[in-house]
Structure 1
């Protein structure tokens, strides 16, 4: 009986993992020269079809400047109408907010808010994510921007896991443009492999920081790579024991109330920001996953 308990306990623990999937740059990631209007439409519709089929809650973060085009307004409406989708703001023009004066940041938020709500109507828009996860140039600036977001009714959203999908997306688009489908497939497979490697790393870091698993928040983008590999990614995470949950559910975990100990302007995982000891934090940052080796073979 002792041996049976030993075998079953890790499986039970493994099955309790949870992840909230978040996609930035809705209705489509901006890659100049790559996306035609039909591609944008196909990318959004393919993602939404898979979200429906797999019943995965997602949160999308919207850049209003991309929605001025009428076709993109229709795409945004489809996201807003989907019952499994939560909407969030990602600023109007996707600037580096750490380089903006506070008044300019407020304008980015206010105009974006107007555009989203004009399309989304009565659907709530509770969340905000900083482009590049750049919250401000220092702790004082970050307190000011986050304070303003609270006044506007937004919760600033962190992430714990990301896998540089935008870098894989660029070489993926280059392969598709050359009609090199074999290379595109290899890039997609490399993206999934690197994403799972990243989850493995951040799972271990989570246990070191908190002594337990917490719901992870995965950051990726609305792009063709994710449209083509969304089902593959979700099923791979499910095989690792993950249940896909809403962002609201994930952020109810008390870990997301942990103070920030690192206020650098650009965004790395909040798991690093939550480490009080600067030397330990730097050590983990030095050893964190980098996609360069995976991508080098495709350049």
Structure 2
């Protein structure tokens, strides 16, 4: 970690001198359509949350996360919009044994109206472990999930999301994984509106834990992080709407990814309000995936995990300029999170 003096200087610069939240931001697609007099597009979005029951598990004691978990689940229930959470079953365990209180956290999600999908047991990277180990980890990731859903009167898990969004380095691996998932009743849940919420969430934790600043300064810094985070996520959403229009000619039903962390527990309501202000209505994965664009082949075989919009654009061999303009996480947030790159 950086010296705490560095964190104190960050706080001083932000809270005393101030920092503009947006510099030179272009109008959102919604504002541009309104200004031109054109009818607004049909904006739909799916809320998905990864790394259930909580990002930091199992590395921290349950007592450290239960309050944040309850706030997030309560916010999801209050929002009243469809949501799908993706479970890492390894997070349910301590020293190789499933903890009942962590299973109860999954039941809380069901009680809030969410659907649960499979995110693997150990959050493995397909590109590192290979297809056979990855498939075994998917099956290991449903040993608790299936009984939890059955006891709640729910259908078996239907959706799988790749950890790290890394989906295969060859067409053969992708086809083999698709076949395996179909045989076990799963469909892939892609992501179109990608973001770096994990960087903001790391900064949020550091702002709340640093002893070098006062509680009042910490509260002010966390409030600024929440405010700027929601604005940043709005700019990300605008960017991916523009990408969709440029690639497909219309506003695709977006699939949005966030994680089960403290920042989103404290910001979920504001995120939903921001999307509604932009004219989005919330739908489930089933409705979104009926859009024909989701039948396109994933032609990306690179090392990272980009948005499916970018995978399709790469498959069409769009020039580098097509991808320009994506909002970046501000330098002060990167520094506070101690992250060097996105």
Q: Do the two structures share a fold, i.e. TM-score over 0.5?
A: yes
The one of 54, 62, 65 aligned to 2:87: 62
> Residues 223 and 162 from structure 1, CA distance in 2 versus in 1: closer, same or farther, beyond 3 angstroms?
same
Per-residue CA deviations over 1:80-109 (Å, capped at 9, x if unaligned) read 344x31111000010111212322112101
Looking at structure 1, the residues matched to 331 and 312 of structure 2 have their Cα atoms a distance apart, in angstroms, of 28
Which protein is bigger by CA-based radius of gyration?
2
- 1:262, 1:274 within 8 Å by CA — same for their partners in 2? yes
TM-score (normalised: structure 1): 0.89
Give structure 1 stretches of 5+ with no counterpart: 1-5
1:43 Cα offset (Å) = 2.1
TM-score normalised by L of structure 2 = 0.79
**Which of the numbers 155, 174, 177 marks the counterpart of 2:206?**
174
Relative to structure 2, which stretch is displaced further, 93-102 or 150-159?
93-102
Match of 1:199 in 2: 237
Bigger shift: residues 234-243 or 181-190 = 181-190
Aligned to 1:19: 45
SS in structure 2 at match of 1:278:
coil
Relative distance call for 1:153 and 1:10 in structure 2 (3 A) is: farther
Give 1:44 shift: 2.3
Structure 1 runs (4+) deviating above 4 angstroms are: 6-12
- After TM superposition, the structure 1 = structure 2 runs for residues 140-159 of structure 1, keeping only pairs within 5 Å, are 140-159=172-191
Distance 1:233-1:24 versus aligned 2 partners, 3 A rule: same
Which residue is equivalent to 1:215? 253
Cα distance 1:214–1:149, how it changes in 2: closer, same or farther (>3 A)?
same
**Correspondence for 2:101:** 71
* 1:112-135 CA distance string (max 9 Å, x none): 111211222242211000000011
Q: Deviations over 1:221-246 (max 9, x none)?
A: 01110010000110011000011111
2:267 maps to: 229
Aligned ranges for residues 108-123 of structure 1 at < 5 Å? 108-121=137-150, 122-123=153-154
CA RMSD of aligned residues (A): 2.2
Report deviation, 1:47: 1.9
Deviations for 1:5-26, whole angstroms, at most 9, x for unmatched residues? Answer: x979957525x31110000001
Query: 1:63–1:93: 8 Å Cα contact kept in structure 2?
Result: yes
* Alignment size in residue pairs: 290
Q: Distance in 2 between matches of 1:195 and 1:27?
A: 23
| Counterpart among 268, 271, 277 of residue 316 in structure 2 | 277
After superposition, the Cα gap between the structure-2 partners of 1:265 and 1:123, relative to the gap in structure 1 and judged at 3 Å, is farther
